[in-house]
Amino acid sequence: MKLKDYARLSATIRLKSGLHIGTGEKPERGEPLNVMLSKRTGYPYIPGSSLKGKMRHLLEIAFGRVETDPKDKGSPCWCGKCQVCLLFGSGSSGKTYEPTRLIFRDSFLTEASEDLLEKIELEEKPGVRIDRLTGKAAGGALFPMKRVPEGSEFSMEISVRVFENDDIDAIRRWLATGLFFMEQDALGGGGTRGSGYIEFEGVQFNGVAFDADWREKTKKQKDGMADVQVKK
Q: What is the per-residue pLDDT for 167?
A: 97
pLDDT grade for 74, boundaries at 50, 70 and 90: confident
CA separation for the pair 175, 46 (Å, rounded): 18
The beta strands (E) that lie in the chain are given as: 3-15, 45-46, 102-104, 107-109, 123-125, 128-130, 137-142, 145-147, 153-163, 198-205, 208-209
Helix (H, G, I), strand (E, B) or coil at 61: helix
Q: What is the mean pLDDT of residues 220-232?
A: 93
What is the per-residue pLDDT across 137-167, written as a single tens digit (0 to 9) for each? 776 677 789 999 999 999 999 999 999 999 9
Q: Is 105 exposed, middle or buried (0-12, 13-18, 19+ CB in 10 A)?
A: middle
pLDDT grade for 38, boundaries at 50, 70 and 90: very high
Q: Is 39 exposed, middle or buried (0-12, 13-18, 19+ CB in 10 A)?
A: exposed
CA separation for the pair 214, 127 (Å, rounded): 36
The answer to whether the CB of 145 falls within 8 A of the CB of 20 is yes
Q: What is the per-residue pLDDT for 140?
A: 62
**What percent of the chain has pLDDT above 90?**
78
Radius of gyration of the chain from its Cα atoms, rounded to whole angstroms: 19
The predicted model scores a pTM of 0.93
Q: Please say if the pLDDT value at position 170 is more than 90.
A: yes
Q: What is the mean pLDDT of residues 185-213?
A: 97
